[in-house]
Structure 1
Amino acid sequence: MDVIVNNTPSLTGTIDALSSKNYTTRYLLVAALAEGTSTIYYPAHSEDSDAMRRCIQDLGAVLVEDDEKITITGFGSAPRPTGELNVGNAGAVLRFLMGIAALGEEITFVNTYPESLGKRPHQDLIDALEQLGAEVDHQEGRLPITIRGGKPQGGVIRVSGSVSSQYLSALLFLTPLLPQDSTIEVLHDLKSKVVIGQTLEVLEQAGIVIHASDDYMSFKVPGSQKYKPANYTVQGDYPGSAAILAAAAVTSSDVTVTRLMEKSKQGERAIIDVLKMMNVPLTHENNVVHVQGTGKLTAVEFDGDAATDAVLAMVAAAVFAEGTSRFYNVENLRYKECDRITDYLHELSKAGARVEEKQAEIIVHGRPEGVEGGVEINAHYDHRVIMALTVVGLRSKEPLRIKDAHHVAKSYPGYFDHLQALGANVEWV
């Protein structure tokens, strides 16, 4: 389905932030790796988190869910044999479970999104799993991927972090279960270090001990550990809320978003700081963000590596700022559901934005007067692109039609419902 976004002068109201997708998928996994029953309160519901639910059930976890919580009886270090796993279009779910697949005899991850996840690389993680003795069949590092794990023991593992931190997270989930101690050495650079902080936080809550260097470039992991059953509460999601907050910033608004922790380890919390730097009137107190937008913004320069999933929303806000904005150190945006630099900027240009790209930078020459719009744009099946383009549509003189906007459900199924509740003039077609 497509969505038409019409010019919307103002937004008003209060919404609860959706639950964090990143924390939900991690809590689901550590609960499945525990022997016993864990409870997760306020888990996210999205295509990605639902993919993790489906896959851990296929591997032997027992799930019971109601409106408030989900209880999970885990399979520990012994996943049930299963021929195939379908992670949908969820890259993090795929990579985390590739690590767990090393505990089993043979698992094939199928390719159901050849134009999105099917194009994304996983070679660095494959190389690391082969160091542990796993046999991996793959298509030049891409899906479909078959992993024959055998009995990995531990030891020294080297993994590149220059494309994605998800490879490292996968190893951090796996290695505590191996019989011997492990040392993980990160080669080259490590992208999105802040997300490793989230992984380590969840592992600690699950009773796992990992000794990390201050720069997250080396880890010592004691072997023969067991995940402990526990109770978890999922916090509000900054990556999805970034688009809502950007929408409030570019319009005349009085918008409140609740359940956003001030001290969250989510790197995308930086959306608050960036909007303040752009002179957007807002407060953040008691886990509540209150934006009183005027539609007037000033340009900003920002290192986006620690806030990857909020950068597109920041760029959307910068489209209407006075001056030239620069978002740098963002090359890993190229390796997501689509190339979130080239593909996204191409669509922004069609809508009338003045943007340019470098290999690891996005440059935005602001148009405070707004953009023309009046075109059909392709979001490339990417949920973050859909949300960010919608923000631009709110300040377009003519409507924007966003193709295949239903793919927003990958992370935020209720996104357009929330925007409509705030007064946004959007309609499905």
Structure 2
Amino acid sequence: MDVIVRPTPSLQGEIGALSSKNYTTRYLLTAALADGKSTIYYPAHSEDSDAMRRCIADLGAVLEEDDEKIVITGFGSHPRSVKELNVGNAGAVLRFLMAIASLCPDVTFVNTYPDSLGKRPHDDLIDALGQLGVKVDHREGKLPIRIQGGQAKGGKIQVSGSVSSQYLSALLFLTPLLEKDSEIEVLHDLKSKVVVGQTLEVLQEAGIVIHASDDYMSFRVPGRQSYQPRTYTVQGDYPGSAAVLAAAAVTNSDVTIHRLKEQSKQGERAIVDVLRMMEVPLTHENDTVVVKGNGRLKAIEFDGDAATDAVLAMVAAAVFAEGTSRFYNVENLRYKECDRITDYLNELSKAGARVEERQAEIIVHGRPEGVEGGVEINAHFDHRVIMALTVVGLRAQKPLLIKDAHHVAKSYPQYFDHLTTLGASVEWVK
């Protein structure tokens, strides 16, 4: 389905942040890898987290869920033998489970999104699993991918971090369960180090011991460990909330978002600091952010590597800032559900924004007077692009029609409901 976003001069009201997708998927996995029952309070419901639910159930976990929590009886280090797993369009879920599938004799990950996840490469993780003795059949690093496991023992592993930190996180979930101790060396640069910190935080909560260097470029992982059953509480999600905060920043607003932890390890927490740098009036106290936007913003320069999933929302805000903004160190945006630099900037240009791209940079020449709009936008089946383009539509002079906007459900199914609650003029159309 498509959505029409009409110019909306003001937003007002309160919402609770949805639960973090990143933490939910990690807690679901650690609960599945434990022997016994774990409880997760306030788990996220999105296409990604639901893909993890579905796959760990296929691998033998038992899930019981109500409106507040999910109770998971895990399979420990012995997942059920299955022939196929379908992660949908969830890249992180695929990569984490490719590692865990090496505990199984023979699993094929099928390709149901050939135009999105099916185009994304996973060579660096495939190479690392090969070093553990895992046989992987693939199509030039892409889905479908067949894992023939059961032989991994641990040892020395090298993995590139230059494309994604998810390959490293996948190995960190797997190696504690192996017979031998492991040493993991990260080659080249490591993208999104903050997200590795989230993985290590969750592993520690699950009773797993990992010795990490200060720069996260090398790890010692004792083998023969066991994940412990635990009770987890999922914190609010900054990546999704970034788009709502940006929407409040570019309009006349009085918007409150609850459940945004001030000391969170989510790198996208930087959206609060970035909006402050843009001179947006806001407060962040007692895990609550209040934005009283006046539509006036100042241009900034920002290193986006630690806040990857909030950069598109920041760029959307910068479209209306006074001056030229620069977002650098963001090349890994090119390797997401779509090329979030070229594809996103092409659509922004259609709407009337003045933007330029470099290989690892986004340049935005702000238009405080607003953009023309009045066009049809291709969101490239990408939830982050959909959310960010919606922000632009609120300040356009004419409505934007965003194609296939239902793909926002990948991470934030309630996104348009929340915006409507705050007064945004959006309409679903077939």
Smaller-chain TM-score bracket:
over 0.9
Counterpart of 1:314 in structure 2 is 314
Counterpart of 1:83 in structure 2 is 83
Supply the distance in 2 between the matched residues of 1:188 and 1:19 (Cα, whole angstroms): 33
- Cα drift, residue 130 of structure 1: 0.4
Superposed CA offset, 1:7-63 (max 9, x none): 000000000000000000000000000000000000000000000000000000000
Counterpart of 2:149 in structure 1 is 149
Counterpart of 1:255 in structure 2 is 255
Supply the distance in 1 between the matched residues of 2:319 and 2:291 (Cα, whole angstroms): 18
Counterpart of 1:238 in structure 2 is 238
Counterpart of 2:2 in structure 1 is 2
Give identity over the alignment, percent: 83
Deviation beyond 2 Å, 4+ runs, structure 1: none
Supply the distance in 1 between the matched residues of 2:77 and 2:189 (Cα, whole angstroms): 30
Supply the distance in 1 between the matched residues of 2:381 and 2:305 (Cα, whole angstroms): 23
What secondary structure sits across from 2:111 in the alignment? coil
Counterpart of 1:334 in structure 2 is 334
Letter in 2 for 1:169: S
The alignment's TM-score, normalised by the length of structure 2, stands at: 1.00
- Cα drift, residue 293 of structure 1: 0.1
Counterpart of 1:368 in structure 2 is 368
Matches within 5 A, 1:150-165: 150-165=150-165
Counterpart of 1:61 in structure 2 is 61
Counterpart of 1:280 in structure 2 is 280
Letter in 1 for 2:250: V
- Cα drift, residue 99 of structure 1: 0.3
Superposed CA offset, 1:284-318 (max 9, x none): 00000000000000000000000000000000000
Letter in 1 for 2:309: D
Counterpart of 1:43 in structure 2 is 43
Superposed CA offset, 1:182-204 (max 9, x none): 00000000000000000000000
Supply the distance in 2 between the matched residues of 1:106 and 1:217 (Cα, whole angstroms): 31
Supply the distance in 2 between the matched residues of 1:301 and 1:152 (Cα, whole angstroms): 45
Supply the distance in 2 between the matched residues of 1:277 and 1:218 (Cα, whole angstroms): 34
- Cα drift, residue 151 of structure 1: 2.2
- Is it true that 1:176 corresponds to 2:176 in the alignment? yes
Supply the distance in 2 between the matched residues of 1:192 and 1:149 (Cα, whole angstroms): 28
Counterpart of 2:105 in structure 1 is 105
Counterpart of 1:15 in structure 2 is 15
Superposed CA offset, 1:217-256 (max 9, x none): 0000000000000000000000000000000000000000
Counterpart of 2:298 in structure 1 is 298
Letter in 1 for 2:275: L
The alignment's TM-score, normalised by the length of structure 1, stands at: 1.00
What secondary structure sits across from 2:130 in the alignment? helix
Structure 1: runs of 5 or more not aligned: none
Supply the distance in 1 between the matched residues of 2:198 and 2:107 (Cα, whole angstroms): 27
- Cα drift, residue 150 of structure 1: 2.1
What secondary structure sits across from 1:248 in the alignment? helix
- Is it true that 1:346 corresponds to 2:343 in the alignment? no
Supply the distance in 2 between the matched residues of 1:309 and 1:136 (Cα, whole angstroms): 29
Counterpart of 1:218 in structure 2 is 218
Counterpart of 1:197 in structure 2 is 197
Counterpart of 2:392 in structure 1 is 392
Superposed CA offset, 1:98-118 (max 9, x none): 000111100000000000000
Supply the distance in 2 between the matched residues of 1:79 and 1:151 (Cα, whole angstroms): 14
What secondary structure sits across from 1:220 in the alignment? strand
Letter in 2 for 1:297: L
What secondary structure sits across from 1:147 in the alignment? strand
Counterpart of 2:325 in structure 1 is 325
What secondary structure sits across from 2:295 in the alignment? coil
- Cα drift, residue 145 of structure 1: 0.1
- Cα drift, residue 361 of structure 1: 0.1
Counterpart of 2:207 in structure 1 is 207
Supply the distance in 2 between the matched residues of 1:209 and 1:356 (Cα, whole angstroms): 45
Supply the distance in 1 between the matched residues of 2:125 and 2:152 (Cα, whole angstroms): 15
Supply the distance in 2 between the matched residues of 1:248 and 1:16 (Cα, whole angstroms): 15
Letter in 2 for 1:406: H
Letter in 2 for 1:315: V
Counterpart of 1:407 in structure 2 is 407
Q: How many residue pairs are counted as aligned between the two chains?
A: 429
Supply the distance in 1 between the matched residues of 2:314 and 2:89 (Cα, whole angstroms): 24
Letter in 2 for 1:139: R
Supply the distance in 1 between the matched residues of 2:127 and 2:233 (Cα, whole angstroms): 34
